[in-house]
Amino acid sequence: MTPRALLPVLVFAGLGAACARDDAPSARLRAANATEDPDPRGPAAKEGGEAPPRRETPTDAPATPRADAPETPRDLVVGGEPPPPDAPRVRLRLALAPGMRLVVQTIGNVRYPMVASQVAYALEEIVEITGCSGSGDARSCDLERRLAAVDAEGRAGRFIRAEQEKLLGHVVRSSIDATGRRTGPTTVEGPEAEALLAADPDFERMHPFYCLRFPEEPVAVGAKWNHTCFVRDRDRVAQRRVLWEVSAIDPDPNGDGHRVELRFVGSYTEPDDDGRRDGTVQGIVYFPTAHGLPHVIREKLAVTVVADKGLRTEANVNRTFGRIERRGGKEVRTLVDGRPFPPGINVSAAADAPKKSR
């Protein structure tokens, strides 16, 4: 089996690269090594409490549409046990506006079969809202995504960097509405754009904003919905079929509105030279409704590499979202709630600091 077959990159393929020496990992990579393994079961599992019951992978996700077809509002059907009459309900919406610039910092660890240690990687993406049309829930906004920096540690990290470098100088464009519904095809612009599209017919189905997808109606704790989305992992587009659930709705301690905890679990399928690879994905999203953007997305992905030998690749990924604004002629980065965006993570401080669930 080739190294490429053993080392699939389980993150969005970046659009730019800034490599570091193998013997001098960056601060972000040192932070990745110190990052707590995200446990999608939540704080109760970390503290010895009972984890939520295991949920079955959805089997009734909607049929795959044409690559150039947008999603429709009927793609989601909300289910789950009816909440109590006095249970709080929230409308989950993305607060996108023309000119908005976002920074998404990803820190993760990947464990490959037949590789002794985990591989740390870090990347930073810039998401720009270039324009919007319509109003209310029908409002649709155009997005551009670029990778601003990427690093990967050690010899195995070279494969990650090699996959990322294929998209140097490219911009990925798409459009979504306030519920995260994809309203048009995803395109790519750059020197190898035609070759990329020709090699991957599912590219146009790729979700532009990390597979976040919300129901039309207000939801309470216990609400569930299925969603099928496509993400670019490694150098190909993979399919996720997940079951979402609202697991908590609490007053936001950092401002107005609520902080909503969303969990997802489901199946993962990526194309392979020999056919396809199957796996599982699960995770958690912390979403402050007053700001209309995710604060953190944590996910755990496991993909089978050689089924009869039990070999698989596992990845733990933490994504932190922030805003980029101009203040006093300077570029300022903040978390979505206005607090300072961390410029980097000190390894010693990260190891000694109390672990926070959100």
Return the pLDDT at 234: 62
- Tens digit of each residue's pLDDT (9 = 90 or more) over 233-267: 666 788 999 999 999 999 988 778 999 999 999 99
Mean pLDDT, residues 270-289 taken together: 89
Residue 290 has pLDDT above 80, yes or no: yes
138 domain residue, yes or no = yes
Residue 278 near residue 303, CB atoms below 8 Å: yes
Rounded Cα distance between 327 and 36, Å, is 33
Number of domain units in the chain = 1
171 domain residue, yes or no = yes
Output the pTM of the full model.
0.75
> Which domain does 318 fall in, by range?
3-352
Mean pLDDT, residues 274-298 taken together: 93
Rounded Cα distance between 337 and 343, Å, is 16
357 domain residue, yes or no = no
333 domain residue, yes or no = yes
Mean pLDDT, residues 136-162 taken together: 84
Residue found by looking up tokens 């903040």 in the block:
334
Residue 331 near residue 324, CB atoms below 8 Å: yes
Return the pLDDT at 333: 93
Rounded Cα distance between 335 and 254, Å, is 11
Residue 60 has pLDDT above 70, yes or no: no
44 domain residue, yes or no = yes
311 domain residue, yes or no = yes
Q: What is the band of 91 on the pLDDT scale with cuts at 50, 70, 90?
A: very high
Residue found by looking up tokens 């920096």 in the block:
149
358 domain residue, yes or no = no
Per-residue tokens: 97: 């506006």
Shortest CA distance to 27 belongs to which of 349, 270, 358, 345?
A: 345
Residue 140 near residue 170, CB atoms below 8 Å: no
Q: How much is the mean pLDDT over the chain?
A: 76
277 domain residue, yes or no = yes
Return the pLDDT at 70: 53
Mean pLDDT, residues 275-293 taken together: 93
Rounded Cα distance between 122 and 108, Å, is 6
Return the pLDDT at 344: 52
